[in-house]
Amino acid sequence: MSTTTPVRPAPGGMSPHRHDPEGGRVSGGLFDPRQLLTSLPDAFRKLDPRVMAKSPVMFVVEIGSVLTTVLAATDPGDWFGWAITAWLWLTVLFANLAEAVAEGRGKAQADTLRKAKTDTEARRLADGGEERVPGTALRVGDLVVCEAGDVIPGDGDVVEGVASVDESAITGESAPVIRESGGDRCAVTGGTKVLSDRIVIKITTKPGETFIDRMINLVEGAARQKTPNEIALNILLASLTIVFLLAVVTLQPFAIHAGAEQTMIVLTALLVCLIPTTIGALLSAIGIAGMDRLVQRNVLAMSGRAVEAAGDVSTLLLDKTGTITLGNRQAAEFVPVNGVTEEELADAAQLSSLADETPEGRSIVVLAKEAYGLRARHEGELGHAAFVPFTAQTRMSGVDVDGTRVRKGAAGAVVAWVGERGGQVPSDAQEKVDAISAAGGTPLLVAVDDARGARVLGVIHLKDVVKEGMRERFDELRRMGIKTVMITGDNPLTAQAIADEAGVDDFLAEATPEDKMALIKREQAGGKLVAMTGDGTNDAPALAQADVGVAMNTGTSAAKEAGNMVDLDSNPTKLIEIVEIGKQLLITRGALTTFSIANDVAKYFAIIPAMFAGVAGYQGLDALNIMRLASAQSAILSAVVFNALVIVALVPLALKGVRYRPMSADRMLRRNLALYGLGGLIAPFVGIKLIDLLISLIPGIG
């Protein structure tokens, strides 16, 4: 089995986009003009009619190019015929170039992976012992042993042991991760390297079907199929092509009747200019670039359909922990009981947390320092101190120093500790504990036993901290008409508090896998598309049911098989960005389709008056010649030249994507109609006129 070990670069040598530089605005990848030159050989190879036939519009252009080539060859002295022929071939080549550039960005990454593949020897368990076999000989269900320094020979699940694994070959991250048997972090990927300890892996994939093999196929486009929207748009473009073909065919009898019979070269030029060649040339590139933008962010989409579905999502299911909140409870405030100052409580809380290495303990020390100016003391400064670590049995931690004992922990445990030492618990202590619990927080009591006796000082309010900027992100999603639902195992009271703070539209408390599935089916029954993330085997059914299921790379094999996307960074929050990338893909396709159809109008005003210029009885058509082009031949050639050049000009936009801004569908439609519809009308008039002025300077044409 072939595997890979080096660090994986992002496409084009770029590092993956882990964070969006504009705070939630999705932008495209960088476009390097040198990619046009490196992709040129692939563009020529795509001139094969068997390849061109997959794009009906450009296939018609290629047939037209062949026809004009034959006609020009019959009259070698006709410069006009040769000029039209050359630019028609360039139109086809530019369309192929757009697709080749989009594919080339993924192939660069795939080539790096393919060159780095090595044949790995596996230590397979058999008959109570080990045998060394080639990785290609492994089959589903085989058990293999991997120790420190071994390259994992294939995808599988850890069934025994725990180890530190270097996954930089697939994630680009140098920091090792822990993989262990049981739970949701048991999946390992072939080509990654064990750094410590010993694990036993159960192989779950066949040779040649590993995650890295699929990754290579996906990023280079070999596994890409046209999405339903692409197919529908192709059908529409083919229909428009047929309509314009019939129009051009029927135009010749009218021209003959008027005494202005047109050559086949002119009619071919007219057809190519009228059919939607711009979007026909860029359609495939737009789809490939959409998947590439996900790859740049370390997300693998198993199909283009998943990317499109992300753009149409109307309901987002988001896990609370790690997605909406930081996942670690943080100290928010110190609440003293009557007769105790906040500074006294903060000092005792900090002292009891000096040896507490948990995120909660560290946050208590930081809060005391930042809110009350208490210097963070170190264990070494308290020479005679005896630190009491937290245990599941005592549910407390603290310190004994200079005859004073300080404890912090669960309310029940601390109350019992104070009672055992003959102390009294103030009546307002329980009230404060209940108030914090009711607000969705976690209360920790702080008590001290000194010369004044055992007593409670107050309560530390721990809360699940909502990630910065989440409310604003949810507001943006709401403006786009997307409903957000928080999924949590917390009780309804806690869930409500977090939901209110984060600004989500709804929440599902005390959620079970069955509850998630029921919610997804209920939303889908209402005609909505649903997106969610998951990493566990119990998430697999819901991931499979969701329209967009993003599995975490750290999750189980079952979860990754069920989802239609895999996040290599295992960052659940990225689901929001995935939805925005999907919307950007749909917006880009719609914008360029609008531009393509709109700019055909200007070509009509250029060619039709030129065809009938000076013909008796058709002087009224001269009113359409609003650009006042130099001559009939110059007008037709200018339109064909513009038709070819506009494809090249729009390649960067097709690859980067139209910049996405959260707004309502109505506002977005008005904006795109104004920018790309009106722009598509005006740009060709300006462009064709400028080209005509240049052509008219050529001797014998103007």
Does the 316-324+467-568 domain belong in CATH 3.40.50.1000? yes
Active-site option among 142, 150, 319, 347: 319
DSSP classification of residue 15: P
107-148 pLDDT per residue, tens: 666 665 665 455 678 899 987 788 888 887 888 889 999 998
**For position 4, what pLDDT does the model report?**
36
Residues facing 398 on adjacent strands: 388, 407
Mean pLDDT of the chain: 82
The pair of three-digit structure tokens given for residue 92, joined into one six-digit string: 């086809």
452-493 pLDDT per residue, tens: 889 999 999 988 878 888 888 888 888 878 899 998 877 787
210-242 pLDDT per residue, tens: 777 777 766 665 445 677 788 888 898 899 899
Amino acid at 189: T
In the predicted model, is pLDDT for residue 329 greater than 70? Answer: yes
**For position 174, what pLDDT does the model report?**
65
**For position 118, what pLDDT does the model report?**
58
- Class level of CATH domain 139-206: mainly beta
Q: How far apart are CA 193 and CA 152, in angstroms?
A: 6
Which positions ≥6 away from 311 have C-beta within 8 Å?
579, 581, 582, 583, 584, 585, 586, 587
Q: How far apart are CA 654 and CA 662, in angstroms?
A: 20
Global pTM exceeds 0.75:
no
Scan for tokens 């860029």, then name that residue.
282
426-458 pLDDT per residue, tens: 888 888 988 888 777 888 999 999 888 899 999
DSSP classification of residue 423: -
The pair of three-digit structure tokens given for residue 453, joined into one six-digit string: 């006796």
574-596 pLDDT per residue, tens: 888 888 888 888 899 989 999 98
**For position 660, what pLDDT does the model report?**
78
* Pair 588, 317: CB distance under 8 Å: no
pLDDT-derived band of residue 601, with 50, 70 and 90 as boundaries? confident
In the predicted model, is pLDDT for residue 181 greater than 70? Answer: yes
Scan for tokens 């494809």, then name that residue.
647
* Pair 345, 334: CB distance under 8 Å: yes
**For position 702, what pLDDT does the model report?**
53
**42 an active-site residue?**
no
Give Cα 480 distance to the centre of its chain: 18
- Class level of CATH domain 328-463: alpha beta
DSSP string, 224-272: ----HHHHHHHHHHHHHHHHHHHHHHHHHHHHHHTT-PPPHHHHHHHHH
Instruction: Give mean pLDDT, residues 651-666.
Output: 82
In the predicted model, is pLDDT for residue 402 greater than 50? Answer: yes
- Binding site for Mg(2+): which residues? 535, 539
SS3 state at 211: helix
- Binding site for ATP: which residues? 356, 360, 390-397, 408
* Pair 348, 448: CB distance under 8 Å: yes
Q: Where are the domains of the chain?
A: 33-106+220-293+581-697, 139-206, 316-324+467-568, 328-463
- Binding site: which residues? 356, 360, 390-397, 408, 535, 539
Q: How far apart are CA 448 and CA 429, in angstroms?
A: 14
